[in-house]
Amino acid sequence: MSFSHSSLSAHVKSHLTFLPEEIRQKILEYLHSVIQYEPVIGIMGKSGAGKSSLCNAIFQSRV
């Protein structure tokens, strides 16, 4: 089954109508944050340890 973002949102909202507004909003905010998640990667190390080289190798381009 395939949904567009807006139809999926309406579909989910229709199943949450029995909940109080405050709880419904918290659930929708959480789902939105999960759907829009973008990972962040941190690399730490001494100068000259190869951090940039590692990033360049992972992403196969100069970062």
Give the residue-averaged pLDDT of 27-52: 90
Over range 28-42, report the average pLDDT.
86
What is the model's pTM?
0.51
- pLDDT (0 to 100) of residue 5: 64
Q: Domain ranges in the chain?
A: 1-63
Model confidence at 62, pLDDT cuts 50, 70, 90, reads confident
Give one word for 60, left, alpha or beta, with left for phi > 0 and alpha for psi -120 to 50: left
The per-residue pLDDT for 57 is 93
Question: 9 Cβ partners below 8 Å, 6+ apart?
Answer: 28
- Mean per-residue pLDDT, 50-56: 93
Hey, what long-range contacts does 36-44 have (CB within 8 A, 24 or more apart)?
A: none
Q: Is the pLDDT of residue 23 over 90?
A: yes
